[in-house]
Amino acid sequence: MLTPWGRSDRLKERRLKPGPGNLRADVERNQRERLYGALVAVVDEKGLEHTSVADVAARAGVSRSVVYEYFDGRPGLFQATFEALVAAGLGAVESSYRQADEDWESQLRAALSAMFETVTAQPAAARLCFLEAYAAGPAVEPIRDAAGATAAALVRAAFDCSAPRRGMPEDVVEGIVGGIRTITQTRLRRHTERELPDLVDELTRWMAAYERPVPPLTPAETEERRGAGFVAATHPERIYVAMAKAIAAKGYAHTSVADIVTTASVSLSTFYEHFDGKEQAFLAACDFGIEQAFASVRQSWERAAPDGWPAQVHAGMRELLSFLAAEPEWSFMAMVEIFAAGSRARARRDRTIELFTSMVEPGRAVNPAIGPVTVEVLGGAVYSLMYRQIRLHGAARLGEILPATVFVLLAPFVGSRLAAQGALAPLGA
């Protein structure tokens, strides 16, 4: 397997020959780089959850004591590797952006091309950055956030070179960056990342479709949803609700089956009558909530049908955000912690995004020039905006991003002026 530090099966061959001529700094750098490459390879083969220090040390050709000499075990090694990969990747993207000085659109295309070229050249390293880093705990969150902020700054700087796009709202920029990130994650998870370079032109056109919204978008007032939350009528449903509460308190990685059954007031035997472990219960709990949420969305969608597709988008998003805001613990579990629950959970996340895209697909009848990749990236953009709002402000404030999500969804189809009007009040209503 190829890593930025050489082929994983040849890392041991990179060992410096023993002898007094080797400087301590050279030995340390050599060992660190072999450990970085080994971690990339082992995590890609096993997943972070099943990767041990012993696995990485053996692949790198060092003793376990060497790992602990430089790092505080696997978390410290992962953080250092992730930081090195992010720095190299962002360096390539920023360099391409600066060199494309023809116009703002060329800058965006060059940055996107550089990112996808990096991903396709080093897919194992990219999976560590775009997928496994979300399961690595809070220590790597500042690195992830800083990388996202750098990407957003590039998009914003490009837009500021175009008068109609100058001063683009932060949420719109974040949605664009999140959409690109999500489409990259999906391809990496499916091992189809070689498709990415072919998407550059359509994704650049998608980004260019946005102009500064007039009138300006303002956060919507959060509406309190009336009525009860999830109805937990059966033992599995009680377990779903309890799991959401436990994970909201401790995170997926630190939540045990014992925590779940205690919160649900059921026995261990009852839990194992229905599930073979925490992961299966987690996936079922995510499905349970998504089914209820989108059943509610479909009702609002159908009621708005006489007013046209833009009005349906507004009604559907308003209902979805309201539903999720009323279930903050479940929303945190299914929208944020799902990244920490392994590869099967990430596949569930992709299915959730596909439900978002089902709201977007009818827009192609409004504007047939829109391609399927744009529809896909819009689902990811909205998911990312929701993820960010829950992480930063909590699910109870999801309703505030209604105008931004509606604008992001509508603008490529109806133009930014009509999209801004539709974001604040349903078009056609």
> DSSP of 48-115, one letter per residue?
GGG--HHHHHHHHT--HHHHHHHSSSHHHHHHHHHHHHHHHHHHHHHHHHHH--S-HHHHHHHHHHHH
What 8-state DSSP symbol labels residue 124?
A: H
Q: How much is the pTM? A: 0.92
How much is the pLDDT for 284?
93
Count of Cβ atoms closer than 10 Å to residue 226 Cβ: 7
How much is the pLDDT for 221?
72
Same fold flag, 1-70 and 288-424: no
How much is the pLDDT for 187?
96
Q: What is the pLDDT along the chain (429 residues), one digit of tens a residue?
A: 999 999 999 999 999 887 677 788 899 999 999 999 999 999 999 999 899 999 999 999 999 999 999 999 999 999 999 999 999 999 999 999 999 877 999 999 999 999 999 999 999 999 999 999 998 988 999 999 999 999 999 999 999 999 999 999 999 999 999 999 999 999 999 999 999 999 999 999 999 999 999 989 988 776 666 544 566 789 999 999 999 999 999 999 889 999 999 999 999 999 999 999 999 999 999 988 888 888 888 999 999 999 999 999 999 999 999 999 998 998 999 899 988 888 888 888 888 888 888 889 999 999 999 999 999 999 999 999 999 999 999 999 999 999 999 999 999 999 999 999 988 877 665
* Span 1-70 CATH architecture: Orthogonal Bundle (1.10)
CA distance 311 to 390: 25
Residue 3's SS3 state is strand
Domain boundaries, the chain: 1-70, 100-212, 288-424
How much is the pLDDT for 225?
60
CA distance 423 to 360: 15
CA distance 339 to 136: 10
CATH ID of 288-424, from 3.40.1710, 3.30.70, 1.10.357, 2.30.30: 1.10.357
- Residue 333 and residue 390 in contact, taking contact as beta carbons nearer than 8 Å: no
